[in-house]
Amino acid sequence: MLALAIPNGGHISMGRKDFSGTAGAVHGLEVEYFPFDRREMNIDIDKTKEKIEKLAKEGNSPKLAMFGGSLFLFPHPVRELVDVIHGAGAKVAYDAAHVAGLIAGGRFQDPLREGADAVSLSTHKTLFGPQGGAVISFQNYSEQIKKATFPSNTSNHHLHNLAGKAIAFAEMLQFGKEYAGQVIENA
């Protein structure tokens, strides 16, 4: 899998085994990191294309490219890299845990419409509901996501906070643009 390195804002769940990252240590995935431009504070598009082509030539094409992370200041280049990633036979995912409210409020990138196959998110950070998470995607992936999620990763959905999430989502529909704008202004 390709992911953002932890020092570059990537989440520990996307880390290599030798750094005790969940992807490597728990799931046994080989993790390659997106080349990162520290001056621009973002994924380097040209070097990433070169890396994917090099991995493919070595017979080690990535199966998954995971954008997003715990800390990122700018939209990731999903649109700019999706064709080369899909061309290598990989799926594109996006970790929107920290920016879901900004996406819902129309103030950040829209990863699904930029080519991501699936988006994971938290329901309690910039999307201001009770603690939880969600995976959103297109219909053609729905059965795969359902089977991968239940019962292997989760066995219930905590009915006690479902109403709180419904209210938060309704408020986001009503006030999301203003809310996301205020979050950006405050930052």
pLDDT digits (tens, 9 = 90+) for 75-129: 999 999 999 999 999 999 999 999 999 999 999 999 999 999 999 999 999 998 9
Lowest mean pLDDT among 12-16, 24-28, 46-50, 129-133: 24-28
14-18: Cβ within 8 A, 24+ apart = 14/66, 14/69, 14/95
Query: What percentage of the chain carries pLDDT values higher than 90?
Result: 70
The candidate with the shortest Cα–Cα distance to 3, out of 37, 44, 43, 32, is 32
Report the distance separating Cα 96 and Cα 71, nearest Å.
10
Average pLDDT over residues 46-51: 98
Contacts of 181 by beta carbon, 8 Å cutoff, 6+ apart: 105, 107
Q: Please tell me the predicted confidence (pLDDT) of residue 18.
A: 72
- Do the beta carbons of residue 120 and residue 94 sit within 8 Å? yes
Q: Please tell me the predicted confidence (pLDDT) of residue 12.
A: 80
Beta strands in the chain (DSSP E): 2-3, 32-33, 36-37, 42-43, 64-68, 91-95, 118-124, 128-137
pLDDT band at residue 65 using 50, 70 and 90 as cut-offs: very high
Lowest mean pLDDT among 28-32, 103-107, 123-127, 160-164: 28-32
Q: Please tell me the predicted confidence (pLDDT) of residue 20.
A: 67
Could you name the CATH architecture of 2-186? 3-Layer(aba) Sandwich (3.40)
